[in-house]
Amino acid sequence: MATMLDSRTPPKAAAQPPVKRRRRSSPVHWNFAGGLAGWIWLAIVVMPIYWIVITSLKLQNDYYDTNPLAPPADPTLENYRFVLESDFVQYFINSVIVTVGAVGPAVLVSFMAAYAIIRGGAGSRFLRAVNGLFLMGLAIPLQAVIIPIYLIIIRIQMYDTLGAIILPSLAFAIPLSVLVLGNFIRDVPKELFESMRMDGATEWGTLWRLAFPLTRPALVTVTIYQGLTVWNGFVLPLILTQSPEQRTLPLALWEFQGQYSVNIPAVLASVVLTTLPILTLYVIGRRQLLSGLTAGFSK
Amino acid sequence: MTIAPPVVRTAPLSARSAAGSGSVSWMAWPALIAFTLFGLIPLVGVLVLSFSSWSGQTTDIPFSGLDSWRSVLADPQLPHALGVTFLIMALSWVVQTPLSILIGVFLAAQHRYRGVLAVLYFIPLLLSQAAISITYKALLDPNFGLGAGLGFEFLQQDWLGDSTLAVGVVVFVVSWQFIPFHSLIYQGGVRQIPASMYEAAQIDGAGRVRQFFSITLPQLKYTIITSSTLMVVGSLTFFDLIWVLTAGGPGDATRALAVDMYTRGFKANLMGPASVIAVILVLCGLVLALALRRLGGRDQADSQLEGA
């Protein structure tokens, strides 16, 4: 605590008036209450994560008779082996298929729609109506329309397939993606579009050669946000699939937990394994991931 | 990839840019079709199904007029589910908002530990609610969980077996996952406050606490509204978390609207009444979103939500 305080006490500039303070990017000083809340909450966040990891490395017997917060005396990967042998490779592949299959097309069609709305919205009532529709779509919670979706999926005979998860995931990724991508395309200077047009480029060509490179950061952000949403999705697989072969990771996790509820270390190893891909991505692209998480919500 | 198919008619060079709109309209169609099929049609569909007595087991859908509505509205389960939903909503707002603001302000300042903090801090956002709930279920086990291991009497309660405690656990787990998200929003909001305001306040002799309440909080008004809207409307749809953690139990202590809908529809095969609950869910969301929008003034809320 003491060191923390020391490090944060603003360099006692009391002697000098605030003229020399360099606070360009941080208008707010360190504050005690915020710091306290920040550090305590950090502990609350980290503790369960630490516990998951160390417990997943313990044998089942050790789990029951050692201190839960003590690291394992002899760490074992036995639980991981057990989880991998329980078809988690299959579930992992399913999750990848569903995520890529939903997010790829969703971002593509959203990008096209956003482009159309920004470029043509001023002169087309149709495009303005489409825009209004997507804005309204932001307010539709997936859970609330899950029953008709279930009916549609049965009717088109896609129940218990990965496609059944992909289609609604794709559709529900569209409104927010259009909104965010539209905001970025709007920032592209009009003159650039104009000069593309002068050069005789088609709208389709302009979309790819001008808008695409200039909105690439936004596309990455949106892809990450939607990817995470679909990857972690639970309701759609729960309702629209049935057989173990079609399970995605969150659902598999839940089933696994139901089946081996006494084998806590194995259950936690499955939690670690399903989270590992995302954590790896997080380490690689933290900045983009975090901006992706608040996509469209914070300016 | 970049080769333009000749499908598109180029706008006549002399035309104003708006005149070329006809040639871009087609690009909106794929998204429109996808969203119509699985977003709009189901929205209408849920209203239609609320007048049916579909079992979900067959494709035969018998219509039964207002029967489902009557039975749901007369069922004491509805006020209970509404009560649970609003209780969880209110508690999680009360827990998350002050903490998120404090932490957001803290994170917005430059300091030495920011990098480390940020890396660890946002991990909960990446985990699926299923994973989080499974973890907490094991962690809170009265016999083998953390409490037993540490020997703390207080932690050794039957967290998920007691009605009051179970609601508390749901609120805590929600906060555990989402406080980082809302802190992130507040951090962005705080960074937008002009430094000059604080400098002026300092010259006027205002202390830290005073600055927080007189500058930071009022300046964050629209951020608070955005964040609260997301919290409140989002809490209507908590399903994964509650379902995995308690499945609505013990008894029906945590049977919020979304859980109630799922249980009626997919466990009891009563899709009609379940659709009624779904319609109520949509209405609650709309009313709350509109109410919060009014609170902030129409234009501002708009630009906040739309700004990326």
A-chain residues near B151 (CB < 8 A)? none
Do A149 and A208 reside in the same domain of the chain?
yes
Do A191 and A96 reside in the same domain of the chain?
yes
Question: Model confidence over B62-115: pLDDT tens digits?
Answer: 888 888 899 889 888 899 999 999 999 999 999 999 999 988 888 887 666 677
When the pLDDT of each residue in chain A is averaged and rounded to a whole number, the result is 81
Do A50 and A178 reside in the same domain of the chain?
no
The pLDDT of residue A114 is above 80: yes
CA of B119: which chain A residue's CA is closest? A286
In this structure, are residues B24 and A128 in contact, taking their beta carbons and an 8 Å threshold?
no
Do A110 and A192 reside in the same domain of the chain?
yes
pLDDT at B300: 45
pLDDT at A174: 93
Name the DSSP class of B63: B
Do A69 and A100 reside in the same domain of the chain?
no
Which residue segment(s) compose the domain that A212 sits in? 87-293
pLDDT band at A23 (very low <50, low <70, confident <90, very high): very low
When the pLDDT of each residue in chain B is averaged and rounded to a whole number, the result is 81
The pLDDT of residue B202 is above 90: no
CA of A254: which chain B residue's CA is closest? B130
CATH code for the domain in which residue A117 is found: 1.10.3720.10
pLDDT at A248: 92
Other Cβ atoms closer than 10 A to B220: 22
In this structure, are residues B88 and B167 in contact, taking their beta carbons and an 8 Å threshold?
yes
User: Last residue of some domain: A44, A76, A108?
Assistant: A76
Q: Cα(B264)–Cα(A98) distance, rounded to whole angstroms?
A: 28
Tokens of B285: 């969301």
The arithmetic mean of pLDDT across residues B267-282, rounded, is 91
- Which of these ranges, A87-101, A284-298, B39-53, has the smallest mean pLDDT? A284-298
Distance from CA of B99 to the nearest CA of A (A): 7
DSSP assignments along A85-97, one per residue: IIIIHHHHHHHHH
Q: Cα(B69)–Cα(B51) distance, rounded to whole angstroms?
A: 7
Do A275 and A247 reside in the same domain of the chain?
yes
Q: Give the 3-state secondary structure of residue B52.
A: strand
Phi, psi (5° rounding) for residue A168?
Answer: -65, -35
The arithmetic mean of pLDDT across residues B3-14, rounded, is 39
pLDDT at A278: 84
pLDDT at B233: 84
Do A41 and A176 reside in the same domain of the chain?
no
The arithmetic mean of pLDDT across residues B26-38, rounded, is 92
Give the ranges where B140-220 is alpha helix by DSSP (H).
Answer: 146-150, 163-191, 195-203, 208-211, 217-219
What count of Cα atoms within 13 Å lies in the side-chain half-sphere of residue B120? 17
In this structure, are residues B214 and B284 in contact, taking their beta carbons and an 8 Å threshold?
no
pLDDT at A286: 73
Q: Cα(B45)–Cα(A151) distance, rounded to whole angstroms?
A: 9
- Which of these ranges, A104-118, A153-167, B130-144, has the smallest mean pLDDT? B130-144
Does residue A250 belong to any structural domain of this protein? yes
pLDDT at B151: 65
pLDDT at A203: 85
CA of B124: which chain A residue's CA is closest? A45
The arithmetic mean of pLDDT across residues A136-150, rounded, is 88
Helices A286-293 and B163-191 cross at an angle (nearest 10°) of: 110
The arithmetic mean of pLDDT across residues B39-50, rounded, is 92
Do A50 and A141 reside in the same domain of the chain?
no
Name the DSSP class of B21: G
Distance from CA of A8 to the nearest CA of B (A): 7
Tokens of B123: 């991990």
Asked if B31 and A110 come within 8 Å (Cβ–Cβ), the reply is: yes
pLDDT at A31: 66
pLDDT at B98: 92
The arithmetic mean of pLDDT across residues B191-213, rounded, is 84
The arithmetic mean of pLDDT across residues A89-104, rounded, is 93
pLDDT at A24: 42
Domain segments of chain B as ranges: 79-251
Which helix (DSSP H) or strand (DSSP E) does residue B271 occupy?
Answer: helix B271-296
Question: Model confidence over B210-262: pLDDT tens digits?
Answer: 888 888 888 888 888 888 888 888 888 889 899 998 888 788 888 999 999 99
Asked if B189 and A183 come within 8 Å (Cβ–Cβ), the reply is: no
Question: Length of chain A in residues, anyone?
Answer: 299
Q: How many domains does chain A have?
A: 2
pLDDT at A169: 95
Distance from CA of A243 to the nearest CA of B (A): 16
- Which of these ranges, A10-24, A218-232, A235-249, B101-115, has the smallest mean pLDDT? A10-24
In this structure, are residues A183 and B307 in contact, taking their beta carbons and an 8 Å threshold?
yes
Phi, psi (5° rounding) for residue B52?
Answer: -115, 175
pLDDT band at B294 (very low <50, low <70, confident <90, very high): confident
The pLDDT of residue B33 is above 90: yes
The pLDDT of residue B307 is above 60: no
pLDDT cut 90: percent of chain B above it = 26
pLDDT at A3: 34
| Bridge partner list, B63 | B52
Residues 6+ apart with CB under 8 A from B174: B88, B92, B96, B235, B238, B241
C-alpha dist (Å) from residue A225 to A282, A296, B34, B235: 12, 10, 19, 19
pLDDT at A6: 36
ipTM: 0.81
- Which of these ranges, A16-20, A113-117, A178-182, has the smallest mean pLDDT? A16-20
Do A96 and A216 reside in the same domain of the chain?
yes
Q: Cα(B71)–Cα(A170) distance, rounded to whole angstroms?
A: 35
CA of B276: which chain A residue's CA is closest? A144
User: Last residue of some domain: A76, A107, A137?
Assistant: A76
Interface test with A, best of B1, B37, B135 (most A CBs within 10 A): B135
Do A61 and A103 reside in the same domain of the chain?
no
Distance from CA of A26 to the nearest CA of B (A): 5
- Which of these ranges, A85-94, A275-284, B10-19, B177-186, has the smallest mean pLDDT? B10-19
Question: Model confidence over A69-81: pLDDT tens digits?
Answer: 777 777 888 888 8
Tokens of B68: 């489902």
B-chain residues near A190 (CB < 8 A)? 17
B146: nearest CB among A68, A105, A279: A68
The arithmetic mean of pLDDT across residues A152-165, rounded, is 92
Tokens of A182: 């539209």
The arithmetic mean of pLDDT across residues A13-18, rounded, is 39
Asked if A149 and B38 come within 8 Å (Cβ–Cβ), the reply is: yes
Q: Give the 3-state secondary structure of residue B162.
A: coil
pLDDT at B20: 46
pLDDT at A296: 54
Question: Model confidence over A200-216: pLDDT tens digits?
Answer: 888 888 888 888 888 88
pLDDT at A294: 63
pLDDT at B16: 41
Determine the CATH number of domain B79-251. Answer: 1.10.3720.10
Give Cα B65 to chain centroid, integer Å.
32
Higher-confidence residue of A82 and A296: namely A82
pLDDT cut 70: percent of chain A above it = 86
Do A215 and A241 reside in the same domain of the chain?
yes
DSSP assignments along B210-250, one per residue: HHIIIIIHHHTHHHHHHHHHHHHHHHTT--HHHHHHTTT-S
The arithmetic mean of pLDDT across residues A118-141, rounded, is 86
pLDDT at A27: 44
pLDDT band at A292 (very low <50, low <70, confident <90, very high): low
Do A45 and A171 reside in the same domain of the chain?
no
DSSP assignments along chain A, one per residue: -HHHHHHHS---GGGS-GGG---SS--SPP-HHHHHHHHHHHHHHHHHHHHHHHHHTS-HHHHHHS-TTSPPSS---HHHHHHIIIIIHHHHHHHHHHHHHHHHHHHHHHHHHHHHHHHHTTT-HHHHHHHHHHHHHTT--GGGGHHHHHHHHHHTT-TTSHHHHHHHHHHHHHHHHHHHHHHHHHTS-HHHHHHHHHTT--HHHHIIIIIHHHTHHHHHHHHHHHHHHHHT--HHHHHH--SGGG--HHHHHHHHHHHSTT-HHHHHHHHHHHHHHHHHHHHHSHHHHHHHHTTTT--
Most confident of A32-41, A273-282, B264-273: B264-273
The arithmetic mean of pLDDT across residues B171-193, rounded, is 88
